[in-house]
Amino acid sequence: MDFDNYNTNGFHDELFEPNGKPRKAALPIIEQINAMGGKELRRRQKAAEMALYQLGATFNVYGDKRGAEKILPFDIIPRVVEAQEWDVLERGLKQRIHALNLFIDDIYNDKKILKDKIIPEEMILSSQCYLPQCEGLKPPKGVWIHITGTDFVRGGDGVFYVLEDNLRCPSGISYVLQNRAMMKRTLPGAFEEMMVRPVSNYSDYLYDTLQYVANDGVKKPNVIVLTPGIYNSAYFEHAYLAQQMGVTLAQGSDLVVKDYNVYLRTTKGLEKVDVIYRRIDDEFLDPQVFRKDSYLGVPGIMECYRRGNVTLANAPGTGIADDKAIYAYVPEIIKYYLGEEPIIPNVPTYICERESDRKYVLENLDKLVVKAVNLSGGYGMLIGPKSTAAERKEFAALIKKNPRDYIAQPTLALSRTPTIIGNKIAGRHVDFRPYILYGKDIFVLPGGLTRVALIKDSLVVNSSQGGGSKDTWVLGTEPRGAI
């Protein structure tokens, strides 16, 4: 098994040029794998899978009574992002996050962007992601979106497009960190030569960010991670991040509100909490304010937040900018708040609420990808070119009934990257999710989660639908110390 018969099949490939030659930046790792031979490569792949299994980085197989567990499939051939490409992404992400944070603050306070008619007001008010309970909130240090994981795809033209902004505490960072740790064991040879940039200090940056956003006057902020509990599919990540930062991992039932402060229930009694990195969705956060039937949250926590006695990261309400119809306005948002041209483009988006867009969408359902505006994870989606007539009919009816709930985008020829499939190396479609922290400054971790659609020709990278992951090597331009 090697790269000798590898074919890019006309797709943009992350490791190979269109003429079938390895990209210069990726050459060391390709040569290393070629020299290793198929047997050794497979052995290392197996060893990495076994290590992840023993680490307990597993999810339960649904419906299996005997407790079968699986790891998220992990492919040991890394995805490479070259230094110059990364520079553009980094600058573009900083710009985008900066603008989105200003946008959210404006929406819940002055609403200038609505008054100036850049975005139609009813677009915001009709969004299920708009939370009136957040009106007038001023989060500490002005930061709403402390942690972001922006989804990118690369089109056939080789350009990175933002697909989704994911401003509501996205998951996946633990895979980035674990995958890297695994790769250091599995293919250590090429790291130094390729000047792979480090990701392992993410937890330090995260902790700094969370400490920084504590309310003024708090001397040594008590930071915690709030999880829905062990049955949540991302529990592994919640525990991992708490462990890496050395902070308490709490569930809603561990917290209690007293005199508008939030406390942990400890063996010694109550202990005040200052900053909560919460991995519970807005609507479950506080049954007194949002969903009344939530047992995951903490009754009264929003009032503590409103009074400035505790910081929530991310702030409640940030989902407004995740609405896929609002997403279409992000280029305008960047221009409006920063007076700059967007550095990274959006995927062109048709908003079904607009009559002309809707007409085009309904006439071209077989060419477009249709998405529900407030769903993610590959749900509520129609992939036009792969759909049946019946599915298109169903979506046409849905769009006509609730046009505000749908957008459409052209089907992108997602880039591919070499992946071990059985006894061969074959091209598979990938996306890319870097992680951004907003504290004192905006920090973009030089790395990210590359999700890969392991099924041939599939464009769906979600783990629930046959997706796996890879380590992402962002290359530096000068030798560095630690990886």
Residues that bind other proteins (CB under 8 A): 53-56, 66-67, 229-230, 235, 239-240, 242-243, 248-251, 253-254, 256, 264-270
Output the smallest distance, CB 222 to other proteins, in A. Answer: 13
**Amino acid making up residue 192:** E
Q: Closest CB to other proteins among 241 and 373?
A: 241
Q: Closest CB to other proteins among 129 and 245?
A: 245
Q: Residue 477: which of 196, 200, 198, 202 has the closest Cα?
A: 196
Q: Closest CB to other proteins among 250 and 315?
A: 250
Output the smallest distance, CB 342 to other proteins, in A. Answer: 39
Residue 421, beta-bridge partner list: 424
Output the smallest distance, CB 62 to other proteins, in A. Answer: 17
User: What's the token pair of residue 390?
Assistant: 């019946």
Q: Closest CB to other proteins among 53 and 379?
A: 53
Q: Which three-class secondary structure string do you get for 264-296?
A: EEECCEEEECCEEEECCCHHHHCCCCCCCCCCC
Output the smallest distance, CB 244 to other proteins, in A. Answer: 8
Q: Closest CB to other proteins among 206 and 461?
A: 206
Output the smallest distance, CB 195 to other proteins, in A. Answer: 29
Give the angle subtended at the CA of 142 by the CAs of 342 and 447, to the nearest 5°. Answer: 50
Output the smallest distance, CB 266 to other proteins, in A. Answer: 6
DSSP letters along 77-117, please? EEEEE-HHHHHHHHHHHHHHHHHHHHHHHHHTTT-HHHHTT
User: What's the token pair of residue 366?
Assistant: 């077989």
Within a 10 A sphere around the Cβ of 27, how many other Cβ atoms? 16
Give the H or E element holding residue 248: strand 248-251
Q: Closest CB to other proteins among 36 and 264?
A: 264
Output the smallest distance, CB 296 to other proteins, in A. Answer: 14
Q: Residue 172: which of 463, 384, 481 has the closest Cα?
A: 463
DSSP H helix total and E strand total for the chain: 15, 23
Q: Closest CB to other proteins among 235 and 290?
A: 235
